[in-house]
Amino acid sequence: MDGNEWMKAAAEKDLKEGVPLPVTVDGKKVMLLLLNAEIHACGNECSHYGAPLTDGVLKGREITCPWHNARFDATSGRMIAAPALNDLPHYESRIEDGIVYIRPGGPHLIQMPEGKDDRSFVIIGAGASGNAAAEGLRRAGFAGGISVITAEQDRPYDRTMLSKDFLSGEAPAKWLPLRSEKFYSRLKIDFLTQHRVESLDTPSRKITFQGGESISADRILIATGGIPRRLNIKGSELRGVHTLRSLTDCNRILSEIDQAEQVVVLGAGFIGLEVAQAFRQRKLSVHVVAPENIPLGRVFGEEIGRRIQQVHKEKGVKLHMGRTAQEARGDDRVREVILDDGTRIAADLLIIGIGITPAVDFLAGSGLVENSAVPVDTRFQTKADGVFASGDIAVVPDRFTGGVRRVEHWVEAERQGQHAAKAMLGSTEPYSEIPFFWTRQFGTSIKYIGHVRKPDRIVFRGSAEDERFLAGYYENGTLRAASCIGMAKELIMIGEKMKRGEHVNPEQLSDIGFDLFE
């Protein structure tokens, strides 16, 4: 369907007002939508990882993807919220003699804005947030200079794959880049790779690099993400001991994997457990050591945490919960890990996955950092004029609790970057997204929406045991967050309701008969 030819898509009678219809036309997956008696047609594959959008939730014109909650305008195909970066293909449509016909409706890729703008914007950080902001500036029509700085050697790539399919060997390296070189050159987005920023002078907006060079900018976005925590134990400097944040880190681990049979992972958080799973897929023997009693219990609650623990056990991961590592021993490289109870575990690789600290060292003295992170207002503006911050380093006002939050999620970092881009161009619209993240544990995707530090009540619809549930996290009687396996549409609706300020009480949430889709 590349030409201008009208193609038969469906019978008119199969369309129902407000119900997206999946069809295949000339091999292309298309979503037809009858809305207010008008017909619309867009691609039906999410531009993130390709989920069928008709399995998602439509509210008004907006459709939310069932896999990782990207949002699109289902009438125009326009991307509204990450993790999708591209719009959907859009088709023209018409009805004749009871048959719906469609044909391609023009380009759907971001275009380089026309016109001239002498301003120059610099983004420090080429990760989730920095990339989304750079693209967001062009989407918003900014025609001036955009430079993106990164200490890494790579341009933006899908960091979330590093602990999953890339480490397990299922995803080839060519799947990692978020964009091609051609894309960035077409949009005139310049990169300064392997450039580490050493300081920022906020009044003059002058950025100084390691080595002394410097540049200034009219607007700056800081999106420097996190630095993995190192463990301060004897032997942690041995070869074979790694953290995992960047593609370079991941490639270092992979370069040693052929000689490895046994791996010890310190930390049973998302990264630790995903790494354990990837190594099991490679048939390595894997031990996970962590001080808490139940993996991810603090995030998802004990019931779900126990289920995750069970799945890992069944897949052959040896979990040492309630334990800490005291020492790594070896000669030229790590050979064994000694736990606090004296247990000795042979190890060819030791992966430390015990969290991150925000990468803000270079901001010392800038006045922008409080409690090791960067507070911003609802438009990601820091205390310094023309300097913005987003992603893992940013402490943002949370309109749902009236407090603040700092989260370390891919989707949130991208959405913040997209919003910050508009703010850099003068938009005063406040940020109003609800955080969302997902993790994959041995083929099962667990999704989470909202934010709560310590829920005082967790209520289930379905059960963790059956691996099909929606869990609601309450704080003082208010629903603050929800997680799910399988019930992706219900999770999206919980997010919708939280946004609208609608209360879902624990009895309603647990009652399978209570319709969340109203």
Ligand X SMILES: Cc1cc2nc3c(=O)[nH]c(=O)nc-3n(C[C@H](O)[C@H](O)[C@H](O)COP(=O)(O)OP(=O)(O)OC[C@H]3O[C@@H](n4cnc5c(N)ncnc54)[C@H](O)[C@@H]3O)c2cc1C
Enumerate binding residues for ligand FES (CB under 6 A): 46, 48-51, 65, 67-68, 70, 83-84
CA–CA separation, 140 vs 392, rounded Å? 23
CB closer to ligand FES out of 326 and 445: 445
Shortest spacing between CB 125 and ligand X, in angstroms: 3
159 binds, among ligand X, ligand FES, none (CB under 5 to 8 A by kind): ligand X
Shortest spacing between CB 70 and ligand FES, in angstroms: 4
70 binds, among ligand FES, ligand X, none (CB under 5 to 8 A by kind): ligand FES
Shortest spacing between CB 233 and ligand X, in angstroms: 21
Q: Are 232 and 225 in contact (CB under 8 A)?
A: no
Residue nearest to ligand X (CB): 127
Instruction: Answer yes or no whether residue 437 interacts with ligand X by CB under 6 A.
Output: yes
Using CA atoms of 444, 447, 452, 456 in order, give the dihedral in degrees to the nearest 10: -50
Q: How far does Cα 249 stand from its chain's mean position?
A: 19
CB closer to ligand FES out of 66 and 297: 66
For ligand X (CB under 6 A), the number of binding residues is 36
> Which two structure tokens, joined as six digits, stand for 478?
């208010």
46 binds, among ligand FES, ligand X, none (CB under 5 to 8 A by kind): ligand FES
Which helix (H) or strand (E) segment holds residue 325: the answer is strand 325-330
Q: Are 486 and 467 in contact (CB under 8 A)?
A: yes
Which positions from 343 to 362 touch ligand X by CB under 6 A, shown as an x/- string? ----------------x--x
65 binds, among ligand X, ligand FES, none (CB under 5 to 8 A by kind): ligand FES
Tell me the residue type at 100: V
Q: Which of 8, 188, 196, 453 binds ligand X (CB under 6 A)?
A: 196
> Which two structure tokens, joined as six digits, stand for 194?
């392997």
365 binds, among ligand X, ligand FES, none (CB under 5 to 8 A by kind): none
How many other CB atoms are found less than 10 A from the CB of residue 119? 14
Shortest spacing between CB 48 and ligand FES, in angstroms: 3
Shortest spacing between CB 437 and ligand FES, in angstroms: 12
Q: Binding to ligand X (CB under 6 A): which residues in 108-127?
A: 124-127
Q: How far does Cα 325 stand from its chain's mean position?
A: 30
Shortest spacing between CB 84 and ligand FES, in angstroms: 6
DSSP-derived 3-state class of residue 452: coil
84 binds, among ligand FES, ligand X, none (CB under 5 to 8 A by kind): ligand FES
Which residue is listed with tokens 């001239």? 116
| Helix, strand, coil % over all residues of the chain, rounded to 5 | 20, 35, 45
CA–CA separation, 311 vs 28, rounded Å? 37
DSSP-derived 3-state class of residue 416: helix
Shortest spacing between CB 227 and ligand X, in angstroms: 8
Buried b (16+ CB within 10 A) or exposed e, 434-470: bbbbbbbbbeeebbbbbbbeebeebbbbbebeeeebb
> Which two structure tokens, joined as six digits, stand for 418?
């997209």
Q: Which of 42, 110, 162, 263 binds ligand X (CB under 6 A)?
A: 162
CB closer to ligand FES out of 65 and 328: 65
CA–CA separation, 247 vs 240, rounded Å? 16
CB closer to ligand X out of 101 and 473: 473
Q: Which positions touch ligand X (CB under 6 A)?
A: 124-130, 149-152, 159-160, 162-163, 196-197, 223-226, 244-245, 271, 359, 362, 391-392, 408-411, 413, 437-439
